[in-house]
Amino acid sequence: MPINNIKKYVQDILPLILGDTLFSYELSICNCNKEPIPYSEIIGNLNHEYLVLIIFENNVSTISAIAKKLSKFINKNVFYVESENKTILYWFEGEEINPETSTSSKKIDTSEHLSSAIARIKSETRLPVWLDKFLFDTLLAEYAPDFDKYDFNLNHSEIEILTYLGTYFPRSYSESYCIFNDLFNNVHFKKEYQTKEIVNVLDIGSGTGGNLIGLLTALEKNLNQKFKVNIWAIDGNQDSLKFLTKITEKFKQYSQNKFEIKTINATVENINHLSSTFQSLDCQSFDFITSFKAVGEIISYAKSKNGQEYFDLALLCCPLLSDLGLLLILDVTTKAKNSTFLPILLNEQIRRFIKANNSFRILSPLSCNFFSQQCNTDCFYYHEFTISHKKKTKDVSRVVFKIVGRKKLVDDLSKDFKIGRFVIDWKHFDQENESKCCCPISLNEVVLSDSYKLS
């Protein structure tokens, strides 16, 4: 079919598929025999005469439904991918080019194609320029990974904290920023937050505040109205809390919004002791309760372990959630002292908490959102985030996390989610390993979906 006819055909069918929605998009029909092809590095194997590209200037929350409808209509595979705030929908037309090459390379191409075609949570970012400068030029933070030394941070000296600041703070920043930024792109969550003027945050094991600054940055980016954030930050290391205060003060200089931070220097003997600390706070209703990489350390520190620290933390924190409140517990993927791997503990205990407390529900990962009531799997999964800054490009961190909220809120935020074959391990994801990288309860489902993407 000549290129103009393809264009006319696509122009005729698109309004039928998109209906009267107001998406603005650009349509291009590319001849794959003629370079350059836009987005070819994302699309991969160009094995047909023509590539039809529809580029939406925004993230399109209904893109999966649109691709499915279009695919049914034209009886062809239709793919989509999200890249830098654009959504790209594409498929091929015309004759297959060089079928021999495409058949011999089919296995690799298909799996690459498979993973790039699934909309995934954005998991890499850079430190904002002001923060990069402040950490490395003003505070003189050091990048020096030392896994053994930094698996327990309660008693670290100021010098050791400077290495934490240059190495591990940026990783927590990235994890927190990426998770919350994605959450704020959930249309229902965004709508709820459009008029919110006061945001109350409780953070347990704040340290120097990497995850708090990630959350504040996501709030700044996504809320259009003026707002005030009140933060209660608990940690047993007073020097770390001093750095947290300095960084928050610096953050204020770059913002039109208001931030108030109250640091609570308390060493947690075991999770249940947090109950009296919480009772002493001058706020009892929080919009975000977060704990990043602290519970594993508290388990290692506690003299009396009861083996259900994540369960106990959820039990203490969930009643303190506001109607819009979410609890995010994130941890590293190692073993706590005299215990098993933290992802296995986190999964089992939060699932047990939800089964016993039906007024709360898991929001993320989506596999747990759908299957937590029926799942009994010893599940070890993790997700990788990367962060770039002046001392390191694409530094990788590997973490496990769960987001929990009141059932009514989570039901609302998840009402557009479709059940799928949920990918929980992207690092090993390819066609051969696919089933090992997906939530085992979801394996009967056909459509692959990212278990971490909430938008």
Residue 343 preceded by cis peptide, ω within 30: no
- What Rg value do the Cα atoms of the chain yield, rounded? 23
Count the residues of the shown chain that bind ligand SAM, applying the rule CB under 6 A: 22
294 or 368, CB closer to ligand SAM? 294
Q: Which two tokens stand for residue 19?
A: 């209906």
Contact between 293 and ligand SAM by CB under 6 A: the answer reads yes
Q: What's the sign of the alpha-carbon dihedral 171, 175, 180, 185?
A: positive
State in angstroms the smallest separation of the CB of 279 from ligand SAM. 17
* Dihedral sign computed on CA atoms, order 220, 412, 445, 19: negative
160 binds ligand SAM (CB under 6 A): no
Q: Which of 93, 160, 287, 297 contacts ligand SAM by CB under 6 A?
A: 297
Tokens of 208: 């120097």
Of the two residues 295 and 375, which places its CB atom closer to ligand SAM in the complex? 295
Shortest Å, Cβ 214 to ligand SAM: 9
SS3 48: strand
Using the rule CB under 6 A, give the single segment among 8-16, 26-34, 99-107, 293-301 that binds ligand SAM: 293-301
- Applying the rule CB under 6 A, the residues between 226 and 255 that interact with ligand SAM are 235-237, 240
Helix (H) or strand (E) holding 12: helix 3-18
Cβ pair 307, 295 in contact under 8 A = no
Partners of residue 364 on adjacent β-strands: 403
Give yes or no for residue 405 binding ligand SAM (CB under 6 A).
Answer: no
- For ligand SAM, which residue of 169, 177, 286, 401 counts as binding (CB under 6 A)? 169
Q: Is 205 in the site for ligand SAM (CB under 6 A)?
A: yes
Under 8 Å CB-to-CB from 108, ≥6 apart: which residues? none
Q: Which C-beta is closer to ligand SAM: that of 336 or that of 344?
A: 336
The yes or no reply on residue 135 touching ligand SAM (CB under 6 A) is no
Residue (230 or 263) nearer to ligand SAM, CB: 263
Find the binder of ligand SAM among 180, 288, 301, 426 (CB under 6 A): 301
* Angstrom distances, CA of residue 249 to CA of 162, 213, 418: 18, 11, 42
Cβ neighbour number for residue 104 with a 10 Å cutoff? 11
CB of 101 to ligand SAM, least distance (A): 47
For residue 39, how many other CB atoms are within 10 A of its CB?
Answer: 18
Decide whether 294 or 413 has the Cβ nearer to ligand SAM. 294
CB of 211 to ligand SAM, least distance (A): 5
Give me the sign of the Cα torsion angle 290, 294, 299, 304. Answer: negative
Q: Which stretch binds ligand SAM (CB under 6 A): 5-13, 202-210, 341-349, 438-446?
A: 202-210
How many helices and strands (H and E) does the chain possess?
17, 15
Bridge partners of 54?
27, 89
**CA gap 429, 423 in Å, rounded:** 8
| Selected range binding ligand SAM among 110-118, 206-214, 223-231, 404-412, rule: CB under 6 A | 206-214
Beta strands in 242-335 (DSSP E): 258-265, 286-292, 321-332
Kindly indicate which of the ranges 22-30, 203-211, 253-261, 373-381 contains the residues binding ligand SAM, using the contact rule CB under 6 A: 203-211
Asked if 372 is part of the footprint of ligand SAM (rule: CB under 6 A), the reply reads no
Q: Does 166 bind ligand SAM (CB under 6 A)?
A: no
Token couple for 421: 């074959």
Does residue 216 bind ligand SAM (CB under 6 A)?
Answer: no
Min dist CB 116 to ligand SAM, Å, is 30
Beta pairing class for 448-450 and 383-389: unpaired
Q: Which is nearer to ligand SAM, 153 or 349 (CB)?
A: 153
Side-chain half-sphere exposure of 107, counting CA atoms within 13 A: 5
Instruction: Report the interface residues with ligand SAM, using CB under 6 A.
Output: 153-154, 168-169, 172, 205-207, 210-211, 235-237, 240, 267-268, 292-294, 297-298, 301
